[in-house]
Amino acid sequence: MRRSIAIAILVGAFPVTARAETLTDANRTQLCTRIYSGQAAVDQDALALLIVTKAGATMLLDGANSGGTRDGAIQLVSTSASMSEPVYAVVNAGRISPAAANRPFGPNVDLGVNEAAATARGTIAQELAELASLMDTNVHVSGSVTYRLVRPLTVGSRLARAEAANPLSLFVGAGLVITCETEPVTIAEGGTTVTPTPSLTPSSSSIALQPVLRGSVKDLAIASNDLKDAEAATIAFSEDRIAQTTTFELDAVAGLRIGPKSGAFELIPYLSYERKAITGDEGDIETLSPGLVAAWHYRTPEFGFDARMEGSFIDDMEQGSHQGKIRLYVDPAIWLGREVGTLFGGNLQVFGPLLLRPKLTLIADASKVWRAGTSEELADADDYWGFGGDLSLRARLNMGSPISDFVLTGGVRHLELRGDIGLRHARRWYSSLEFAPDTFPFLGLALEFNDGRNDDTFQREDTYSLALRLRY
C-alpha cells in the first residue's frame, strides 16, 4: 500500500504526457540484452535509456550526474563506482522531493526554470508507475513476450521486501531482475508454418569487464551493489607493548570480472598478495598467488547458491614454499518464509532496529606441495585435502546514518585436513567492528581480531589491529 501511495503522489505532482508502455514486444530486442540464469533478461541501462528517450529528455542527459560534469557524450553503461547517466536521471526523477540536489538531470538543469525538463520528469515518473504495476503482479505480457519479475533471496526481511517493492530498486540496490520469456508463436509464411524461438546469446553490450579489489578470493564474485558484504582489502597496523613488537599487514586481492552483466556465470583472473611484517619477533608472512575463479550463480524463489571454483599457485616468499590449490566455495541461501526471511542470503530483522545477516560458505580444496621450504606446517607434506567452511554473523542497527554505517562481524573458518600432511585441522576465529558509509562503501575503518591459522600457509596468528579497508 505504501508503494502505491508514493507513486500516485509522484505521478500527480508533475505535468505528464499520455502513457506509453515500455515493456512491450516491440521493445524486446532493445531491452532483453542480458543473460540471467541462462535466460534473456532486461538490461537496466537499456531500460533507463528507453524511458528517458520516451520522455524526450535525451538532450538533457549530458551532465546527468552528481557533479554535473559535461563531456559532450552520454555515459550509457553503469559501473561499480557510478550510475549511467540515463539511470541517474530515472532514479532521481523517481524520488518525490524535487530539491535542488535531487534534480534528475544534474545540477545544471533547474526544473523550476526549464519547463521541458519538468515535463520530462513527470513522464519518467509515469513510466515508473508502469513498473510499479509489474511489481504488484510480477508478470506483464505483451504480444509474444512475458516480462517476469524475479526477486532475489535477499528480500527476506521486512526492510528488504519494502526496498524490493520500490520500482527504483530495478535500477539500484535490491538486485531485482526482469526476465524475458518468449513463447513459441506459429506464423504463416507463404504457406509454411515456422516457430521462432528467442536467442539467449548475449550481445556485445551485455558483456562486462569489471575490475574488483577485495580481501578474499571467495568474495571476488560479490556484486557491486552488495559491496559491504564483501571482505575488504586491508592495510593494518598493531602494536604489542608487552612483547615490544609492532606489526604491519597488507592483504589484497585484485581481479577482473568477465561475463554477462549480472549474469549466471563469470570468469575472474586475479592476483592475491599478503604481507605481515613483525618487528621484534618471528612469524613474518609474505605470499603472492595468481589464480583464476569460475563463478556460477543460481536462484529460485525458495533456494539459491553462489558457487566458485578457484585454481591458484601459492608462492610463500617468506618460507620458500610452493603449492598448487583447487578450491570450491559454495554459499547457500534458503527462504524460510515471510516472517523469518532468508537464511544465509539476507538481513533478518529479529527485533526493533537490529538486523542480523548470517553467512555460510562451504569449502573443499585439494593441494599439491611442490616445495615445503622452511615451513614446519608443510614439512613432509605432498598431496592433501581440506573440507570445512566459514560461518559468520554480521549485525547492525537500522537507525540511519551514521549509526547504520557501523557493522559488527564475528566468525570462524575451519578445515579438516586429510592426506600427506601432519596438520589435522586448521581453524581461525575472527571479528571486526567497521565503519563504512553506505553512501561510499569503498573505504572503511575497522578494529580487527584474528586468532588461528593462516588460510594458506597455516602459520599461527594472534592479532589485534586497526585497519584501513578498501573495496571496489
Q: Which domains does the chain have, with CATH numbers?
A: 2-194 (no CATH), 206-470 (2.40.128)
Q: What type of residue is 24?
A: T
How buried is residue 167: exposed, middle or buried, by Cβ count under 10 Å (0-12/13-18/19+)?
buried
pLDDT: which is higher, 349 or 378: 378
CB 73 within 8 A of CB 65: no
Q: What is the mean pLDDT of residues 289-310?
A: 84
Highest mean pLDDT among 232-241, 269-278, 280-289, 294-303: 269-278
**Which residue matches cell numbers 544465509?**
344
What is the spatial distance between Cα 142 and Cα 385, in angstroms, rounded to a whole number? 53
What local confidence, expressed as pLDDT, does residue 225 receive?
Answer: 52
3-state secondary structure (DSSP) of residue 40: strand
Q: Is residue 438 pLDDT above 50, yes or no?
A: yes
Average pLDDT score, the chain: 77
What is the spatial distance between Cα 141 and Cα 199, in angstroms, rounded to a whole number? 18
Q: Is residue 357 pLDDT above 50, yes or no?
A: yes
CB 314 within 8 A of CB 304: no
The residue length of the chain stands at 472
Q: Is residue 78 pLDDT above 70, yes or no?
A: yes
What local confidence, expressed as pLDDT, does residue 88 receive?
Answer: 86
Q: Is residue 453 pLDDT above 50, yes or no?
A: yes
Q: Is residue 265 pLDDT above 90, yes or no?
A: no
pLDDT: which is higher, 194 or 36: 36
| CA dist 111 → 39, 71, 85, 352 (Å) | 40, 22, 17, 39
Q: Which three cell numbers stand for residue 214?
A: 577485495
Q: Is residue 107 pLDDT above 60, yes or no?
A: yes
What local confidence, expressed as pLDDT, does residue 264 receive?
Answer: 65
Q: Is residue 137 pLDDT above 80, yes or no?
A: no
What local confidence, expressed as pLDDT, does residue 200 receive?
Answer: 35
What local confidence, expressed as pLDDT, does residue 35 receive?
Answer: 74
Q: Is residue 366 pLDDT above 90, yes or no?
A: yes
In the chain, % of residues over pLDDT 90: 20
Q: Looking at 199-208, 212-221, 308-317, which range is the least confident one?
A: 199-208
Highest mean pLDDT among 33-42, 106-115, 392-401: 392-401
- pTM of the complete model: 0.59
Q: What is the mean pLDDT of residues 101-129?
A: 77
Q: Is residue 214 pLDDT above 80, yes or no?
A: yes
What is the spatial distance between Cα 375 and Cα 392, in angstroms, rounded to a whole number? 29
What is the spatial distance between Cα 222 and Cα 228, in angstroms, rounded to a whole number? 9
Q: Cβ atoms within 10 A of the Cβ of 433, count? A: 14
What local confidence, expressed as pLDDT, does residue 226 receive?
Answer: 63
CB 388 within 8 A of CB 455: no
CB 330 within 8 A of CB 323: no
pLDDT: which is higher, 91 or 312: 312
Confidence of residue 155 (pLDDT cuts 50, 70, 90): very low
